[in-house]
């Protein structure tokens, strides 16, 4: 660098930063040999902070405003280095501008499914994604812990670490919430508050905060969603017999359609089969007539009895127990009977099963009250 460039650098006494990007968090002001002239003007705009680093040590932090760099308004720097007048200034410092505005629309999502226990479906795998915003609340700590000597630091360099923290705490919050899968869409705001509360201490150690956090969607695996859609369709259809009758009537009411033609052909085939069976019965009666043309007493043809299908086996209920503020189960009735014998299940134990309105004592439920009447008494104490 020539003498002209050196003098030009010395005469520049305005230190400022204007940023036209939306992802730059820290930018270092470049000066020749890092020389800051006595009396230089520092402009810090709204949404910015200026951090002075002197000989590898953070010396001062300036908020928004216009400053004239003199000893009377830089007491920290004065204790570190004496300022002289003129071009030859012994004070060498680096100035970093920190963007303190919000960085919005940052993405987070679960790379792998989160396994949790649902009270209705049992173990399920969940995926979730959303957005969050972050901002620098402590520029000095952010510089010391994250940025270091990076001359231009962007949000992409820290967002991956924040995303890992969010996913970890989201997994814990979902697993510990005991919220049914079908009710999670109505509780995303509460889950978001739990996640933000859990990650605040971690991001505060970086000098950051997360003023906004959103859970956009919580989804099940595709196979489970397909099964859930079928179950929903069955609930909408209702009575399957009436549904089939309605479809058949609609097909017959549309002449010329393929469905109507098929229905007509099926009815014609059924009518022909019925006439054939009647003619066969008449001919069989004539063949059995006596020598005088008199037919013996008509014998009714044996009709095969229609076998009714066996009833489906009853569905065994499973029960969840509330013990010391925690949910246990599900257990079958046989397992609960063994627990009664062991003394770990009593009439006052709160239980819940799918379809039941809230938790109830086991002694108030008919199906479970029988366990306590047929259970043997506790064994006598051992003989001394």
Q: What is the pLDDT along the chain (384 residues), one digit of tens a residue?
A: 444 444 444 444 788 898 888 889 999 987 666 667 777 788 999 999 999 887 778 888 999 999 887 655 554 454 444 444 443 444 677 889 999 999 999 999 998 888 888 887 788 888 899 999 999 999 999 999 998 888 899 999 999 999 999 999 998 888 888 888 888 888 888 889 989 999 999 999 999 999 999 999 888 878 777 777 777 776 766 666 776 777 777 777 665 555 555 555 555 555 455 555 655 565 555 555 544 444 444 455 555 556 777 776 666 778 888 888 888 878 888 888 888 888 888 888 898 888 888 888 988 887 788 787 765 666 677 776
Who's near 309: CB < 8 A, 6+ residues apart? none
Looking at residue 294, what is its pLDDT?
A: 45
Fold classified for 319-374: Dna Ligase; domain 1 (3.30.1490)
User: Which residue is associated with the tokens 């819940």?
Assistant: 352
Looking at residue 57, what is its pLDDT?
A: 84
CATH 3.30.479.30 positions along the chain are 103-224
Q: Is there a contact between 87 and 81 (Cβ–Cβ < 8 Å)?
A: no
CA 153 to chain CA centroid, nearest Å? 31
Q: Which of 189, 190, 213 lies closest to 200, judged by CA?
A: 213
Looking at residue 9, what is its pLDDT?
A: 47
Q: Give buried/exposed letters for 123-136 (b at 16+ CB in 10 A, else e).
A: ebebebbbebbbbb
Looking at residue 281, what is its pLDDT?
A: 62
Q: Give buried/exposed letters for 275-287 (b at 16+ CB in 10 A, else e).
A: eeeeeeeeeeeee
Q: Give buried/exposed letters for 249-267 (b at 16+ CB in 10 A, else e).
A: eebeeeeeeeeeeebeeee
DSSP letters, 62-102, are E-SEEEE--GGG-HHHHHH----SSS----B-EEEEEE-S-
* Tokens at 381, concatenated: 């104490």
End-to-end CA distance of the chain: 102
Q: Which of 216, 155, 154 lies closest to 191, judged by CA?
A: 216
Strands 57-62 and 152-154, how do they pair? unpaired
Looking at residue 140, what is its pLDDT?
A: 92
Q: Give buried/exposed letters for 100-121 (b at 16+ CB in 10 A, else e).
A: bebbeebebebeeebebebbee
Is the whole model's pTM more than 0.75, yes or no? no
CA distances from 106 to 109, 130, 135, 154 (A): 10, 8, 11, 13
The H or E element spanning position 123 is strand 122-136
The H or E element spanning position 345 is none
Who's near 289: CB < 8 A, 6+ residues apart? 295, 296
Q: Is there a contact between 9 and 32 (Cβ–Cβ < 8 Å)?
A: yes
Q: Give buried/exposed letters for 297-336 (b at 16+ CB in 10 A, else e).
A: eeeeeeeeeeeeeeeeeeeeebbbbeeeeeeebbbeeeeb
Q: Which of 117, 246, 129 lies closest to 176, judged by CA?
A: 117
DSSP summary character for residue 144: I
Looking at residue 107, what is its pLDDT?
A: 94
Dihedral angle over CA of 33, 37, 40, 42, nearest 10: 30
Looking at residue 98, what is its pLDDT?
A: 94
Looking at residue 264, what is its pLDDT?
A: 53
CATH 3.30.1490 positions along the chain are 319-374
Fold classified for 103-224: Tetrahydropterin Synthase; Chain A (3.30.479)
């Amino acid at each position: 660098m020539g003498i002209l460039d050196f003098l030009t650098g010395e005469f520049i006494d305005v230190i400022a930063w204007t940023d036209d990007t939306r992802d730059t968090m820290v930018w270092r002001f470049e000066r020749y040999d890092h020389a800051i002239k006595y009396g230089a003007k520092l402009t810090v705009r709204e949404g910015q902070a200026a951090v002075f680093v002197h000989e590898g040590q953070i010396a001062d932090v300036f908020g928004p405003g216009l400053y004239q760099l003199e000893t009377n308004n830089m007491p920290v720097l004065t204790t570190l280095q004496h300022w002289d007048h003129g071009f030859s200034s012994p004070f060498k410092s680096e100035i970093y501008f920190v963007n303190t505005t919000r960085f919005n629309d940052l993405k987070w999502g679960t790379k792998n499914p989160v396994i949790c226990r649902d009270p209705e479906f049992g173990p399920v795998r969940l995926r979730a994604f959303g957005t969050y915003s972050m901002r620098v609340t402590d520029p000095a700590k952010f510089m010391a812990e994250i940025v270091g000597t990076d001359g231009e630091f962007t949000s992409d360099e820290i967002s991956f670490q924040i995303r890992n923290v969010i996913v970890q705490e989201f997994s814990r919050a979902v697993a510990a919430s005991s919220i049914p899968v079908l009710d999670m869409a109505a509780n995303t705001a509460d889950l978001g508050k739990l996640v933000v509360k859990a990650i605040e201490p971690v991001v505060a150690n970086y000098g950051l905060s997360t003023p906004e956090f959103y859970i956009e969607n919580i989804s099940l695996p595709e196979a489970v969603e397909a099964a859930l859609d079928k179950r929903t369709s069955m609930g909408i259809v209702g009575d399957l017999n009436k549904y089939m009758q309605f479809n058949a009537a609609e097909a017959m009411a549309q002449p010329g359609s393929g469905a109507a033609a098929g229905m007509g052909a099926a009815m014609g085939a059924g009518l022909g089969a019925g006439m054939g069976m009647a003619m066969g019965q008449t001919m069989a009666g004539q063949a059995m007539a006596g020598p005088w043309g008199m037919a013996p007493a008509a014998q009714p043809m044996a009709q095969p009895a229609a076998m009714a299908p066996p009833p489906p086996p009853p569905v065994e209920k499973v029960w969840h127990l509330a013990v010391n503020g925690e949910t246990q189960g599900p257990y079958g009735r046989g397992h609960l009977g063994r627990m009664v014998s062991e003394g770990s299940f009593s009439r006052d134990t709160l239980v819940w099963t799918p379809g039941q309105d809230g938790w109830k004592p086991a002694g108030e439920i008919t199906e479970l009250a029988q366990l306590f009447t047929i259970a043997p008494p506790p064994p006598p104490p051992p003989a001394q």
